[in-house]
Amino acid sequence: MSRIEQLIDEIEEYIDSCKYQPLSTTKILVNKEELEELLVELRLRVPDEIKQYQKIISNQEAILSEARSQANTMVAEATAQTNELVNQHEIMQKAYASANEIIEQANMQAQAIVDNAVNDANNIRQGAVQYTDDMLRNLQAIISHTMEGARGRFDAFLTSMQSSYDIVSTNRNELAGGVVQEAPAGEQPPEDGSAV
């Protein structure tokens, strides 16, 4: 299932989970921000160009059906002309030859129409796939750039923290050296080494 289908399912589930307004069985209360968030993501997932490509691709069967219909019409016209010529006995041989030629031409034209329709549909599909791949490549580059920037800032932060840590450690060591005092005669320094 694609992310677009998932978003549509999420929107439907969200609407189903909303409470009805008081005294109503048709109007519901929705969280505008949550619904807008789902719709914004859905819009980002379905650019207008891809919707157009999908519409054209979905019409491929209609294009092929139209081509077949035109081909059938041409063949029917050729067959009708053939029947008319055959009914005229004195030119029967000529009628067969002419009819076969017309049918052959009609079949060739019908095949050309079908081939062109298939090629157009394939080109449109390939364009849609290429466009989607370009969009994903751009998104990938943005994410990579963002990760590199974040990594650089994090490394700088760690370097700064290490420097601060080193300064604090140095200061503590210096303080520790100055805190040690001689104990008065007859007294033992505390066991933990701290000065009193």
| Domain ranges, ordered by start, for the chain | 1-46
Percent of the chain residues topping a pLDDT of 90: 19
Question: At residue 189, does pLDDT exceed 60?
Answer: no
Instruction: Write the pLDDT tens digit of every residue in 132-168.
Output: 888 888 778 888 878 888 888 888 899 999 999 999 9
State which amino acid sits at residue 53: Y
pLDDT category of residue 186 using cuts at 50, 70 and 90 = low
* pLDDT, mean of residues 77-96: 77
- Residue 179's alpha-carbon distances to 160, 176, 188, 192, in angstroms, are 29, 5, 16, 13
Could you tell me where the DSSP H helices lie in the chain? Answer: 3-17, 32-45, 48-58, 60-86, 92-179
Q: Which of 135, 137, 155, 158 is nearest to 147 (CA)?
A: 155
Q: In one letter, which amino acid is 130?
A: Q
